[in-house]
Structure 1
């Protein structure tokens, strides 16, 4: 109760008013003079109909008193402002997740699906920080590690819509619209450079996306790539994986193909990511991203408890409801007693 003392005030006022009303009614009866008597009416008290009416009147009055008490008690409780009190602990997760997407032509259709899936997945997060990075010849951070899920949802939506609306596949050939080309332009090398899908460099840039490297945190990269490299980068895949392991980062891969028809690049990718403690998934499978999330959730998660604070929530509904029920029932019993 927010104002417990008001309960006793309301009960005291009602009790005083009831006593005053009873006293005034009694005095009024005394001032009205002596009762009159009617001869030869004693037999009326023995009539079944009279006795039935007396019983109904007494029952109605008894129920009216009960309804009156319910209304008074409920009104007093409502006046005291009932609240729910609980201690709220702000929690922030120590889990960081970087979505690391290969934005080369062969991976774009899968990047769109992964973006749509992660829009649904982040709705289940609470305190986890996520980041999105696209890469091809160069890397681009779409948003850094954050727990602003509304902003993350907006960026993922924009990415998925831009790719879906700007990507066309005819006879195995991929073409992009000018708007999608402009969207991906920061990731593409200059025309005189034959570089694309530099997996090692892309993965290394995602590893560098983690902050607070001096703190004990769970760090996971979701790497979507076909591991088909064109040109020479700073890191190869093995070197980038070693860098990830040195930073205690778990890497899981989403590969666009069945595990029954894997290339040598796919086998290399699978073996490398598993050495970090991560796993290898088929990106074309509808359940792939959900499986990745289950793996992420199985990792150690540390909740950092901050100072708790008392939270009060008003709950007047029940008391007001009983007040209304008591008043309406009281009127009904009084009306019944007068019939």
Structure 2
């Protein structure tokens, strides 16, 4: 506990001492009154003595109240604060939701987002990001552990997907190139959300000890010519120490599904057909059950200002002093 403006009480005390000294000096040099003959007859009266005693007591009470009001006001103005240093602990887990928002995928994407909204209250320091893509990718928000913000963004996208209206919420910016469901480009864009994974970097991939996961939800029905193939994007993810959880929304066991499963198997990434029961739940549970250690965040200084006690003192003391001053005709 300490005073934020520690010098303020010193200023108040010096000012009070100066005011008292000035008052005493002026009182000594003030012209005296005239003596009244036989005034002792009045001062010896019992009623006078009682009135004088009451007046002295009231002056004393008023002085005490004024002192308390000044002290309380001084402390309130000087800000009585509590300080503490905390070193936050966070789980070293990063998760990117990498969702194909082509027309055939929005229903499945909404299920994935729903599951993550259920998991948010149990998160503690995990960082999340959301990337929506079709022929081009749009990062909705970068990796962050601001869960209130994450929840608001996920609900906005989920509600737009479920309502069937307002598709611009989740498709804006995802169709800037010819084609649709360019999976390799979408996955590569999601990989770039992780620190140190920029393809232009000349430094080797960064292994910062954090668990890195991508949930890739797509039907892999590519329509067009992607810049990066799914195989190349998967290799890019592996080279940056990222685990891709493949969620296949293709309802048919065709060549697209075979390619998707084959690439995931080649790089030893988990693969889940969306037709399998509880596939979304299994992916999320697998990620969140990974053994992760806590990391120490940067120490943070908290300064807590608690003026309530002193303000309540002023709220009570000032009216009491005003009543006393009124009675004394100050």
The normalised TM-score by structure 2 is 0.57
- Which residue of structure 1 aligns with residue 133 of structure 2? 134
Match of 1:206 in 2: 190
Structure 1: which 5+ runs fail to align? 169-176, 190-195
- Shift of the 95–288 alpha-carbon distance from structure 1 to 2, 3 Å rule, reads same
Post-superposition Cα deviations, 1:93-127, rounded to whole Å, max 9, x if no partner, equal 965432211334332123246568879959x8979
Q: Which residue of 1 aligns with 2:19?
A: 17
Asked if structure 2 preserves the Cα contact closer than 8 Å seen for 1:100 and 1:132, the reply is yes
Deviation (angstroms), 1:152: 8.1
Equivalent positions of 1:53-132 (< 5 A) are 57=55, 59-77=57-75, 80=78, 95-112=93-110, 114=112, 128=127, 130-132=129-131
Tell me how large the CA RMSD over aligned residues is: 6.2
After superposition, the Cα gap between the structure-2 partners of 1:69 and 1:25, relative to the gap in structure 1 and judged at 3 Å, is same
Unaligned runs of 5+ in 2: 197-204
User: In structure 2, do the counterparts of structure 1 residues 303 and 188 end up closer, same or farther at CA, with 3 Å as the change threshold?
Assistant: farther
Q: Distance in 1 between matches of 2:111 and 2:76?
A: 53
Per the TM alignment, residue 299 of structure 1 is displaced from its structure 2 partner at its CA by: 3.6
Partners of 1:16 and 1:326 lie apart in 2 by 24
Mapped to 1, the partners of 2:151 and 2:306 lie a distance apart of: 34
TM normalised by structure 1 equals 0.56
Distance 1:29 1:277 in 2: 100
Cα distance in 2 for partners of 1:134, 1:251 equals 16
Q: Per-residue deviation at 1:221?
A: 0.9
SS at match of 1:143: strand
User: In the superposition, relative to structure 1, how do residues 332 and 262 fare at CA in structure 2: closer, same or farther (>3 Å)?
Assistant: farther
Question: What is the number of equivalent residue pairs in this alignment?
Answer: 305
> Which residue number corresponds to residue 39 of structure 2?
36
Q: Which string of whole-angstrom CA distances, capped at 9 and with x for unpartnered residues, describes residues 185-215 of structure 1?
A: 45773xxxxxx76767754663455341324
Higher RCO structure (Cα 8 Å, ≥6 apart): 1
Distance 1:43 1:178 in 2: 93
Give how far 1:7 is off: 2.1
Matches within 5 A, 1:213-252: 213-216=205-208, 217-225=210-218, 227=219, 234-235=229-230, 244-252=237-245
